[in-house]
Structure formats: C-alpha cells, structure tokens
C-alpha cells in the first residue's frame, strides 16, 4: 500500500482527481511556503510509487503481503514450467 504521508495536507491544496492509476507530482519550480502548490498533469506514477486517492504519486513504503509474495513466486515459476513443458513436447521421441 501507499502511505499518504505529508503529501496530502489540507483539502484546499489538493489537486483534482486523476483517472485510473494515474497521479500528479508536485512541481519543484514555483513552490514555496507562501504560494499554492503547483502540480503536474495526470500521468503514470514512477516505478516504486503509486497514486494516493487518485491524486498524488507517493513512494510505496510498506512491506509486501503474503498474497504479493505468492503472486511473485507464481510469476517466477510459471515461465520455468512452460519452458520445461515445451522442451519435453519438442524433444524427438525414440521409437
């Protein structure tokens, strides 16, 4: 999961919603403590981050759940099993 952290301060400074898994980044130019924050356009979040409430991209900092680990193990083993099946299927048969 993605933790909201300090990025989602008060409701007045939040950017508009983005669709799907897209989010926005706070632009470094023109953002000081006295002005309203400037946000990028909606777009995909960078690797290792996710959209919090369909608004802001924030880094993923939580540990993987058991379901996540099972999915990763399955995705690692599946190509190996398919490869073994294809090798066995296409080896010449001795008569």
- Give the model's confidence band at 76: pLDDT under 50 very low, under 70 low, under 90 confident, else very high: very high
Query: Whose structure tokens read 């939580």?
Result: 62
Percent residues over pLDDT 90 in the chain = 44
More confident residue, 53 or 5: 53
Whether the full predicted model's pTM is greater than 0.85, yes or no, is no
């Amino acid at each position: 999961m993605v933790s909201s952290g300090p990025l989602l301060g008060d409701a007045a400074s939040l950017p508009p919603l983005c669709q799907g898994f897209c989010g926005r980044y706070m632009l470094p130019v023109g953002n000081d403590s006295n002005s309203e924050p400037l946000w990028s356009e909606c777009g995909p979040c960078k690797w290792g981050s996710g959209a919090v409430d369909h608004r802001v991209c924030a880094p993923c900092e939580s540990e993987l759940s058991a379901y996540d680990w099972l999915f990763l193990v399955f995705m690692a083993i599946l190509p190996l099993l398919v490869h073994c099946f294809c090798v066995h299927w296409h080896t010449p048969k001795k008569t």
